[in-house]
Copies of this chain bind each other. A is one copy, B any other.
Amino acid sequence: MEGSITRRRLEPAARREEIIRAATAYFAEVGFGGPTRDLARRAGVTQALLYKYFASKAELREAVFERVYLGRIAPHWLDELRDRTVPIRARLCRFYAQYTRAIFTYEWMRIFMWAGLDGDALNRRYLEHVSALLLAPMREEITAAAEGRWAPGMEDLWNLHGGIVYLGIRRHIYHLPVPEDVTPVIEAAVDRFLGPLS
């Protein structure tokens, strides 16, 4: 009666990746305070095995962070934001369509929020990145497009950004119903933001 629970041997790299994958989903759901035993069960391995691949729970947490944060911001977004052959409205709409597609996932939204509450430094680093490499250029482009008629402040851009990000928060943090396709909501927000420029 050897059950279907066969103990399979995986290559270290593959197993490590599998654990990180499971840990990402697990921590996203219950937070970093969740016990390693539950995590191990969901990963389909023993709790002891976790410590063959990660020296401590904190190290596993770091690995999850690395996996989640790395490459979340695509470099070409900035190039496209700065492409003045395209109308400013289209650039902003396109950017936020791509950006929300990248971050509006259960795992990213929740891990980012858990880490934020925990006071993790990576959060602030990420958001300073957003500010300097995305919002500030957007501000420049809008100012240029306005041709002297208007120059938004950084707080205005944070306001635009927050209004859109809040969609993901409602959806994945608060579990509230949110439109499946956020594109029209984003377009309306961009239109209101640009006003006469749109």
Contacts and interface: CB of A to CB of B under 8 A. Distances in A.
Interface stretch (A4-12, A53-61, A71-79, A158-166): A158-166
A45 interface: no
Interface residues of A, number: 36
Nearest to A121: B175
A166 B163 CA distance: 7
A159 B113 CA distance: 19
Contacts of A173: 113, 116-117
Interface stretch (A36-44, A81-89, A136-144, A189-197): A189-197
Contact of A166 (B33, B117, B123, B166): B166
Number of copies of this kind of chain in the complex? 2
Interface string A141-172: 00000000000000110111111111101100
A101 B185 CA distance: 27
Given A113-B117, A117-B113, A123 B158 contact: no
A44 to B, nearest CB: 25
A156 B169 CA distance: 15
Given A116-B174, A117-B173, A124-B174, A159 B163 contact: yes
A91 interface: no
Most interface-central of A31, A159, A170 (chain B CB within 10 A): A159
A51 B173 CA distance: 31
Contacts of A124: 174-176
B162 A160 contact: no
Given A31-B31, A155-B188, 9 more contacts: A117-B173, A124-B175, A124-B176, A159-B163, A159-B164, A159-B188, A159-B189, A163-B163, A192-B192
21 contacts: A31-B31, A110-B117, A113-B173, A117-B173, A119-B175, A124-B174, A124-B175, A155-B185, A155-B188, A159-B189, A160-B163, A161-B166, A162-B162, A162-B164, A162-B166, A162-B167, A162-B170, A163-B163, A166-B166, A169-B169, A192-B195
